[in-house]
């Protein structure tokens, strides 16, 4: 309880940041006819100062439109020295079935088109400095 109280009173040496609907998107069709999505958030975490609290994504279909919502919550130490290593945060979500065809993909303010089925399609790569893990 003292930890929760210190955050409420603003006496903590940590701060939380939230990224919503930001980052690169990796799309992969599945063998069962579905779609697997991984969002790579545009943030670099120090192993000595940063902690990923949560990372999530959802995908919703409406006709030929696929809307991806994502969120990453990171707690960052605000005092002391931090290592310069760079860990990434990603979240995965999926649709169980999806017919072949052309779809509009929306993630935050970004919108793009994709022909499905397809594998290793990266959209909105310019929204993060890198896509650290292979898009598989």
CA distance 80 to 78: 7
Q: What is the pLDDT of residues 3-49, one digit of tens each?
A: 333 344 455 688 999 999 999 999 999 999 999 999 999 888 999 99
The 10 Å CB-count burial string (b at 16+, else e) for 22-36 is bbbbbbbbeeeeebb
- What is the reported pLDDT for 78? 86
Question: Which residues lie closer than 8 Å to 28 by C-beta, 6 or more apart?
Answer: 35, 36, 37, 118, 119, 120, 121, 135, 136
Band (119; pLDDT cuts 50, 70, 90)? confident
CA distance 103 to 24: 17
Q: What is the pLDDT of residues 43-60, one digit of tens each?
A: 889 999 999 999 999 999
The model's pTM: 0.82
């Amino acid at each position: 309880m003292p930890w929760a109280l210190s955050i409420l009173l603003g006496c903590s040496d940590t701060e939380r940041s939230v990224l919503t609907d930001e980052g690169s998107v990796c799309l992969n069709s599945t063998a069962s006819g579905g779609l697997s999505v991984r969002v790579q958030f545009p943030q670099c975490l120090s192993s000595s100062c940063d902690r990923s609290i949560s990372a999530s994504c959802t995908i919703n279909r409406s006709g030929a439109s696929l809307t991806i919502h994502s969120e990453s919550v990171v707690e960052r130490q605000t005092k002391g020295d931090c290592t310069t290593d760079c860990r990434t945060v990603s979240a995965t979500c999926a649709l169980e079935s999806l017919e072949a065809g052309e779809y509009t993909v929306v993630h935050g303010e970004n919108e793009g088109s994709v022909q499905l089925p397809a594998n290793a399609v990266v959209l909105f790569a310019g929204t993060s400095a890198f896509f650290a893990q292979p898009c598989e």
